[in-house]
Amino acid sequence: IPVDDFDLILFGATGDLAKRKIIPSLYRRFLAGQMPEGARVIGAARSELDDEAFRKEVREAIAEFVSKPKRKPEVIDAFCERCSYIAVDAMGDAGWKELHDSVRDEVCKAFYFSVAPGIFGPLAKKLREHGIACENSRLVVEKPFGTDLETARKLNAELAASFDEHQIYRIDHFLGKETVQNLMAVRFANVLFEPLWNERYIDHVQITVAETVGVAGRGSYYDKSGAMRDMVQNHLMQLLCLTAMEPPNRYDADMLRDEKLKVIRALDPLPLSDVVRGQYKEGDGHPSYREEAENEDSLTESFIALKVGISNWRWKHTPFYLRTGKRMSRRVSEIVIQFKETPHSIFERDNGSQANALTIRLQPDEGIDMSVTIKEPGPGGMRLINVPLDMTFADALDGGDEIPDAYERLIMDVIRGNQTLFMRGDEVEAAWAWTDPIIEAWTEKRDRPHGYAPGTSGPEEALMLMHRDNRRWRDLD
Ligand code: BG6
């Protein structure tokens, strides 16, 4: 779908996220023909660069982070023509007049804050003071959105002084992933699942986001956050909400976010006994967490597993188990809906049947599969086997098309003015209100995370979290 002309002003244009995600995503949309003639990218940061020096950085980002078949020299040249640069100082006056003169009032102006959260407020203020932000403007902010309820409230208030809520796009890039949107299609565009989507038929839900990387290179940020703040409060919370929410009346930004908010407000407070924190040790050729984070006494978790209850009619007796961690055995993100056993089996015991499970895979191999039990083909009697009804999205795409990166979709949604896949201020605050007490509880206790060997599925204690309920985690391998 084409979009209107726009000026995208990228603050933090020389930073890591701009290089790894934002610039490559804009280039891929340009290549796909989705950036109209009048679309421009204006890099803004503190460094004193000129347009040519910035374009050189743009080229480097494309060379490093765009796949080879998509790196077409003439397209890269044309894309660079659209890019320019202005040095601005968030705390001083340098660059603001120039920025004011170069952005166009008649097109959509998207200000993308890919900068430290500490300067969100000052930047928003400058945009207002210099008359750069207007009714036609949109503001995109990256995570982390605060570090607790208090800081998130303060940030929301700072942004609200310059922008209305309908102009603010808080990024959670998990919402831009193909499968996450497909989860809504599966739930609300089929008659098959919704009648079963409740505590009567679902035994439990497992949400796993396992990564093989460590924290090297970003230890100073990560050590102050840990897995709870870095992943659970945002990404896993969003996955939980989309799985658990009631159907909104329409696929509309505020209706959908109202439903997500209701889920967060229905979450039971977390007791310490339902949380397992872990920290990776040295091994597998990698240094320990503490070494990578450069903090030999660190009590920060690089892994966390939780059992979460939702107190509403739909989910009262169906727990949601969440886990996420670094340096685990495999990179996998998935949501598993584990259905209950049939109420009674007419077949002999040990016949091979298993309860149904619906697996929503975010990565790798984005797709959804449903395990069903059928009779093993052949004359051997009534032996039952489990087979997957598999829907891998790549198979459903026309030959060779890649699934677009989450950022490509999200940036284009900003230009279109569609907030559906962005978090609303009250949602972020409610999520912090839920995570704050447990973080405070373990900080006060000086709770020590359990050590785990790299390349595993986390500490043994995390297995116990499910074993004690007679359940088990899905194998990662
Ligand atoms: C980020 C976290 O938001 O998401 C990182 O800060 C994490 O710690 C990353 O590695 C995971 O994103 P993806 O898209 O690679 O699964």
Check whether 449 has a pLDDT greater than 90: yes
Q: What would the pLDDT profile of 15-55 be if each residue is shown by its tens digit?
A: 999 999 999 999 999 999 999 999 999 999 999 999 999 99
Q: Which residues have CB under 6 Å of ligand 1? A: 143, 173, 211, 230
* pLDDT higher than 70, residue 146: yes
Does residue 223 sit in helix, strand or coil? helix
Q: What per-residue confidence (pLDDT) applies to 402?
A: 66
**Quick check: 397 pLDDT over 70?**
no
- Mean per-residue pLDDT over the chain, rounded: 93
- pLDDT reported for residue 425: 97
DSSP 327-387: SBSS-EEEEEEEEPPPSS--SPTTSS----EEEEEEESS-EEEEEEEEEPSSSS-S-EEEE
Specify the pLDDT at position 392. 73
- Centre of ligand 1 to C-alpha 91, Å, is 29
Q: Active-site positions?
A: 235
In b/e form, how buried is each residue of 22-56, taking b as 16+ CB within 10 angstroms? bbbbbbbbbbeebbeeebbbbbbbbeebeeeebbe
pLDDT for 86 = 96
Please give the pLDDT value at position 358.
96
Across the range 301-322, mean pLDDT stands at: 98
* Predicted confidence (pLDDT) per residue in 103-133, tens digit: 998 899 999 999 988 899 999 999 999 999 8
In degrees, to the nearest 5, what angle opens at C-alpha 14 toward C-alphas 13 and 20? 85
Atom of ligand 1 at shortest range from CA of 406? 14
CB atoms < 10 A from the CB of 299, how many?
A: 17
Nearest atom in ligand 1 to the alpha carbon of residue 173 is 14
At residue 397, what is the residue type?
L
Q: How far is the CA of 379 from the centre of ligand 1 (A)?
A: 50
ipTM for this prediction? 0.98
* Cβ(241)–Cβ(316) below 8 Å: no
Atom of ligand 1 nearest to the CA of 209: 16
* Per-residue H/E/C for 69-135: HHCCHHHHHHHHHCEEEEECCCCCCCCHHHHHHHCCCCCEEEEEECCCHHHHHHHHHHHHHCCCCCC
> For residue range 366-395, what is the model confidence (pLDDT) as tens digits?
889 999 998 888 887 888 888 988 877 666
Q: What percent of the chain has pLDDT over 70?
A: 97
pLDDT confidence of residue 354: 87
User: In this predicted structure, what is the pLDDT of residue 230?
Assistant: 97
Structure-model confidence comparison of residues 66 and 345, the more confident one: 66
Span 75-90, average pLDDT:
95
Residue closest via CA to ligand 1's atom 4 equals 231
User: Which of 365, 366, 378, 373 minimizes the C-alpha distance to 389?
Assistant: 373
- Position in ligand 1 atom list of the atom nearest CA 174: 14
Look at residues 66, 4, 68 and name the one whose alpha carbon lies nearest to residue 37. 4
pLDDT band at 136 (very low <50, low <70, confident <90, very high): confident
pTM for this structure? 0.95
Which residue do the tokens 């897995």 mark? Answer: 227
Residue 102 has pLDDT above 90, yes or no: yes
Residue in 213, 236, 381, 363 with CA at minimum distance from that of residue 305: 236
pLDDT of residue 410: 96
Known binding positions = 12-19, 46, 143, 173, 177, 211, 230, 326
**How far does Cα 91 stand from its chain's mean position?**
30
Question: Which residues are annotated binding-site positions for NADP(+)?
Answer: 12-19, 46, 143
Q: Which residues pair with 110 in a beta bridge?
A: 8, 138
Asked if the model's pLDDT at residue 71 lies above 70, the reply is yes
How do residues 401-429 score in pLDDT, each as one tens digit?
A: 567 789 999 999 999 999 999 999 999 99
HEC letters along 48-79: CCCHHHHHHHHHHHHHHHCCHHHCCHHHHHHH
The helix/strand/coil state of 209 is strand
| Whether pLDDT at 192 is above 70 | yes
Which residue's CA is the nearest one to ligand 1's atom 15?
Answer: 211
- Residue for token digits 């995600």? 21
- From atom 8 of ligand 1, which residue's Cα is the shortest distance away? 230
Rg of the chain on CA atoms, in Å: 24
pLDDT for residue 190 is more than 60: yes
Determine what percent of the chain is predicted with pLDDT higher than 90. Answer: 83
What's the confidence (pLDDT) of residue 398?
Answer: 56
Q: What integer is the mean pLDDT of 85-113?
A: 93
Q: Ligand 1: which residue has its CA nearest to atom 2?
A: 230
Beta bridge partners of 112: 10, 140
